[in-house]
Amino acid sequence: MILLRKAAGLGAYHALNRARGLFPPRALRDNERFRNAHAGARCFILGSGRSIVEQDLTLLAGEHVITQNSFHAHRDIAAIAPRYHCVVPMFHPREFDKDWAQWFREMKERLPPSTHVFAGLNARGLLERERLFEGRRSYLQQGLDPLLLRRAPVDLTRRVMNIPTALTQCLTVALYLGFKQIYLLGFDLTQICEGHEKNWGRFYGSSPVTRNEAERGFERQRLWDGEEWFQFWTIWRACVLLRDEAARRGGEIVNAGRGGLLDCFRRERYEDVIGV
């Protein structure tokens, strides 16, 4: 009995340390295979702002491309053939899991079979039950507050910063993969200027997880109490940390999108970058 109690105590000790990130879950440790997998290369990260429909993305054929969330809805997704696709961690109550399942199924139908998916660790159970992206999915775990950090954590085998937007998730993944020059397209971040009921600047309109009652309630509340302003400021803070981390590694994050508010990165014309 004493040994059993000690074993139970040891199990609780390891569970606590695992929760603290000292012993990451196996699913995170498996990300070691991606560390610096594209060291020194360049990539393009595609956002869902309306400006991106004005840019010819078929020119990205053969480039390393990272897409996010509902970008599978883009008309040129097959030609773009993203190497990686990032999905934000699930953030709705469990009763809305059916909406997330539908969203993931739509992604699977539209994304090329060669695209590797990075999802939140809290989506693992759902993806396994639905048998989605088998053999081509990985997970990351958020939880660190960018307001309390002096340097962006980009080790996918451990906890990373909180993810208020897919942009910071994509940048974290890109830096972990070792990309040196990272170009952003379609990250307008003009939602805060558009108010409610305007699909928040997305070129595709809405998705199963952006039109459900949970999301509408979140948006109403954030606008009502002003939290939306604070959230956008934390996005900027996270972007600055990631920008500085890229520079620390000898690289750069460049905004090659048209217009928008994302001025914490140096801007460059997409056509000049791609050479047309």
Q: Return the pLDDT at 40.
A: 98
The share of the chain scoring above pLDDT 90, in percent, equals 72
Q: Please report whether residue 44 resides in a domain.
A: yes
Question: What confidence category does residue 218 fall into, taking pLDDT thresholds of 50, 70 and 90?
Answer: low
Mean pLDDT of the chain: 89
15 is a domain residue = no
Read out DSSP for the chain? -HHHHHHHHHHHHHHHHHHTTSS--HHHHGGGGGTTTTTT-EEEEE--BGGGGGS-GGGGTTSEEEEEGGGGGSTTHHHH--SEEE-PPP-S-GGGHHHHHHHHHHHHHHS-TT-EEEEEGGGHHHHHHHT-STTSEEEE---B-GGG-SS----TTS--B--SSHHHHHHHHHHHHT-SEEEEES----GGGT-SSSGGGBTT---TTTSSHHHHHHHHHHHHHTHHHHHHHHHHHHHHHHHHHHHHTT-EEEE-SSSSS--SSEE--HHHHHT-
> Looking at the DSSP assignment, which residues form a beta bridge with residue 194?
none
- Residue 218 dihedral angles phi and psi, to the nearest 5°: -60, -45
In a domain, 162, yes or no: yes
Q: What angle do CA 187, 190, 195 make, to 5 degrees?
A: 145
Total-model pTM: 0.89
Angle CA 228–229–231, to nearest 5: 65
* Residue 100 resides in a domain: yes
CATH number for the domain spanning 141: value is 3.90.1480
Range of the domain at 262: 33-274
Q: What's the pLDDT band for 92 if we cut at 50, 70, 90?
A: confident
Instruction: Give a yes or no: residue 38 inside a domain.
Output: yes
Please give the tally of structural domains in the chain.
Answer: 1
Domain assignment present for residue 189? The answer is: yes
- Any idea how long the chain is? 276
Q: Give the gyration radius of the chain's Cα atoms.
A: 19
55-74 pLDDT per residue, tens:
999 999 999 999 999 999 99
pLDDT of residue 221: 72
More confident residue, 9 or 136: 136
Measured CA to CA, the distance from residue 256 to residue 44 in angstroms comes to 9
Q: CB 231: neighbour CB atoms within 10 A?
A: 14
**C-alpha span between 110 and 181 (Å, rounded):** 27
Q: Tokens standing for 73?
A: 């809805």
Contact partners, residue 165, CB within 8 Å, separation at least 6: 88, 189, 235
184 phi/psi in degrees, rounded to 5: -105, 135
Residue 240 lies inside a defined structural domain of this protein: yes
